[in-house]
Amino acid sequence: MSTTPPPHTTGYFARHIFFCLNERDNGQDCCARHGAQAAFEHCKNLVKQAGLAGPGQVRVNKAGCLDRCAAGPVAVVYPEGTWYSYVDTSDIDEIVESHLKNGKVVERLLTAPELGR
Ligand code: FES
């Protein structure tokens, strides 16, 4: 039996990385208060500079709340479904270089599995 997926299920992009950019104005914590916008922009620029952007490659996407606020700021890479909790732009550098460029998960930045909302 063939393991090749049917054409309609093949990805236009090889990977997406979604950044939660959610901002709450009710006093509750949110990724936007922890540098999410800057991290998103940094990632987008890096991916572009590295020549990784475009069809067949990587797409950097904005997202609303990803429902893992307790682990924020968070970003998730698909199709692997790898969740990252980052602190600063050097963490983003590592995610881009290791995971988005070379397919190697950055273990030290993985979101703790028990952390949700
Ligand atoms: S506010 Fe970012 S995951 Fe909920």
| Region class of 31: left (phi > 0), else alpha (psi between -120 and 50), else beta | alpha
CB of 15 shorter than 6 A to ligand 1: no
Give per-residue pLDDT as tens, 23-48: 999 989 999 999 999 999 999 999 99
The whole domain housing 64 covers: 11-109
CATH of the domain at 15: 3.40.30.10
| SS3 state of residue 61 | strand
pLDDT, position 27 = 87
Q: Which residues lie below 8 Å from residue 96, measured CB to CB, with a gap of 6+?
A: 43, 46, 47, 50, 52
Residue 8, pLDDT above cutoff 90 = no
d(CA 59, CA 44) in angstroms, rounded, equals 8
CB of 46 shorter than 6 A to ligand 1: no
Strands (E), the chain: 15-20, 58-63, 74-78, 82-85
- Give the global pTM: 0.91
CB of 71 shorter than 6 A to ligand 1: no
> How many structural domains compose the chain?
1
- Ligand 1 centre to CA of 98 (Å) is 24
Residue 20, pLDDT above cutoff 70 = yes
CB of 47 shorter than 6 A to ligand 1: no
